[in-house]
Structure formats: C-alpha cells, structure tokens
Amino acid sequence: MRNRYRVMLSAAAGVATLAFASSALAANTGTVAVWHTPQTLANSQSTTIHVKVPQDTNPIAAVNIYGPAGYTVNAAQAPGTQIGNVDATAFSRDNNLTLPLSGTVVTADPASSASTSGSAQCTGVPKSEAVWIMNLSVAGNTLAIPVYVNPTAGPETALGATKLSICLPPPDVPVGTPGRSFQGAQLLEAILTVKNVFTTPTSGGLAKWETLFTPYNPGVGTINRAGTFEARAFVPLPIGFGVTAKYKSKKARTYVLSGKINEGGLPVSGLKLTVRRGTSPSKLAKVGTATTTASGSYSSAGKLKVKKTTYFQVTGAVGERDYTAAGCQSPLTPFAPAGCVSATLSPWSGKSVTVKLNK
C-alpha cells in the first residue's frame, strides 16, 4: 500500500506566527549529520544525510536541507531510477509504537501531476528540478515521501546552492482529520543515502550543510513558522591519513610508524587508530593501537619477528560529533527565528595507504 503524504502547508500559510508564541518557545530540537563514502574531494560515490528529531519536539512540518556551494548535483536521472536507500524510525500515535521503516529512493518525473502539485504545495516551486521518492516500508505498508530538489535563489543562496525539501503531514491532530499522517506517524529519524548524486568540492575545508526544521503547532496541524530552527552539519574534506614507517634499528628489527591525521585540514585529536601489519599487503593483521595527539600526530613502535619485507597500514573511525559550540556561531535568524540548535561534525572511517619496510 502506498500513501503519498499530503501536506497542508497552503492551508496554514497565512497563519500569524505570534498567535503561536507559546509553542515557539518549546524546546524544539534536532540534528543533522552528512557524510560521504569515501570522504574525499571530487567524489560522487555516496552521500548520507542523517536527520534526527526527538519525540518530544513538536512534529515537524517541513525539513529543508541545503547543500553547500562547491558541490555539484546530478539531478538528471531518468524517472524510476533507484538512486539510494533510506532507513527511518517513526512513532505511530495510533499504535503507541516506534516503527522501523526502510526502502528505496527512486526518482520521479518532476513534470508529473503528482510531482508538480506536491512541489507547489511543499516548496512553492511549480516544477522542481528533481523529485525523489523515499519508499518507507514496514510490514508491507509503504509510505511514499517525496523529496523536492531545487537550486536556491535570492536570499536563500546564503544557505546553500541546492535545497532538498521534505514536507510531512501532522501526526497529532485528531484521528479522522483530513491530511493527518498515516497512523499518526511522527518521523523521528531518517538516514538517506544517495549514490552518484552529489559530487564533493574540489577544494578542502569544512563544508557546511544547513537544515531548517519548521514544526507544527502541537495538536492543531498549523505550521509554526516562528518556530523554525536551524541545525548544521559540517563535513570535513578530505580526510588525511598520513603514515610513514622507519626502522629504529634495522639490526634489532625495531621500527616506528608515525603520521598525522587531519580532517578538512584540521588535526584530529584523541583518535584511536588501529595499526595493522603483515608480510603481504593483502594479509594485514592488527598488531596494536595508537592515539593521536592534539596536533593529530601519532606514533607506534614495534619489533618485527621475521626478516621479511613488512607492510603497514593504520585505520580509524569517528562517529557523529557534537560541534554546536563552534558550529552554531552566527545563527541565521531571519531564516530560523528559533535559532541554531545543533551542529554536528561528520562521522567517517578511513585508512592510510599501505607502506612497507624492506627486509
């Protein structure tokens, strides 16, 4: 079964924001993280956007995610092309249960009547440049949620070059209310991965992805524009994994492995690295760990057991990291009256090149 979320944005568009000041004061929050696999320059393999909204935040009416300038976007896939996958959780008010959802992301025809009417309602743009359908399924029920993709224009260019817009119906209005979400489902989390859509910039640094969340006023299904808040995702590009191997004493077969880890040109401190070693570059086994210093440097010493050419590699990974203190500077109040509530630094995993010590 497929339900296309119908959004009642237009009905609520004229609502005066001051009338809902009390809900605007609620502690609404959310996070967004963005990462690429691999996280390198000029790469288009895979982009993941992770949106998370706590259950006690007012239900979200619209999520607008802005891809930064410097990226290129391929929005020219033929309708029906699967461009990715999505995993999500939603709280069903009708069942009082959190539901796991997952499915494909497929391009739709932006010129179809469903796409144009949805685009006009959700974004105000009569025909979006691209429309992606997130097919979120659980137990055979599929919710088809469109993502409208458009270049930004006018003042919005300050937020980014490309806008992904998702509009959601209200879950907390009384059962039977027209436009209420399927089974009162309130989106809590979505992990959207698309392939060969975004190509990362050619120059390094911290790429900032802005996201604006616009909540509903609780229980009434009207949009609380004054409650729009901002969450930021920072993507360090590229991830640098420096490594060199040297004999400390060739006679004693002791060695030192050292290097520096950085992300977007900034040192990564406190990162636990795995050191792998072997006599074949395709058969490396973990032999130890090392932790980076404040400057991103690390070193690891050891002794070789056999007199053979030996290969080394270091690997490491970080999770999503709170970056709010630094990342929420200069909030974009005109766009997000409720302020910047979070900033998140990308997770990534990486590995160095394989280096060797000759016997």
Binding site for other proteins (CB under 8 A): 1-2, 82, 89, 94-95, 97-100, 102-104, 106, 133, 135, 137-142, 144
Report the Cα 109 to chain-centroid distance in Å: 25
**Shortest distance in whole angstroms from residue 230 CB to other proteins:** 29
Q: Of the two residues 32 and 99, which places its CB atom closer to other proteins in the complex?
A: 99
Instruction: State how far the Cα of 237 lies from the Cα of 346, in Å rounded to an integer.
Output: 10
Instruction: State how far the Cα of 65 lies from the Cα of 209, in Å rounded to an integer.
Output: 7
Q: Is 18 exposed, middle or buried (0-12, 13-18, 19+ CB in 10 A)?
A: exposed
**Shortest distance in whole angstroms from residue 139 CB to other proteins:** 4
Instruction: State how far the Cα of 130 lies from the Cα of 168, in Å rounded to an integer.
Output: 18
Q: Is the dihedral of CA 101, 103, 106, 108 positive or negative?
A: negative
Instruction: State how far the Cα of 290 lies from the Cα of 79, in Å rounded to an integer.
Output: 48
**Shortest distance in whole angstroms from residue 102 CB to other proteins:** 8
**Shortest distance in whole angstroms from residue 80 CB to other proteins:** 8
Q: Of the two residues 81 and 289, which places its CB atom closer to other proteins in the complex?
A: 81
Q: Of the two residues 182 and 311, which places its CB atom closer to other proteins in the complex?
A: 182
- Ramachandran area for residue 124 (φ above 0: left; ψ -120 to 50: alpha; else beta): left
**Pair of tokens at residue 158:** 């300050």
Q: Of the two residues 86 and 235, which places its CB atom closer to other proteins in the complex?
A: 86
**Shortest distance in whole angstroms from residue 173 CB to other proteins:** 18
Q: Of the two residues 21 and 97, which places its CB atom closer to other proteins in the complex?
A: 97
**Shortest distance in whole angstroms from residue 83 CB to other proteins:** 13
Please measure the distance between the N-terminal and C-terminal CA atoms of the chain and give it in whole angstroms. 64
Location of structure tokens 């636990």: 272
**Pair of tokens at residue 321:** 């990291």
Q: Of the two residues 99 and 235, which places its CB atom closer to other proteins in the complex?
A: 99
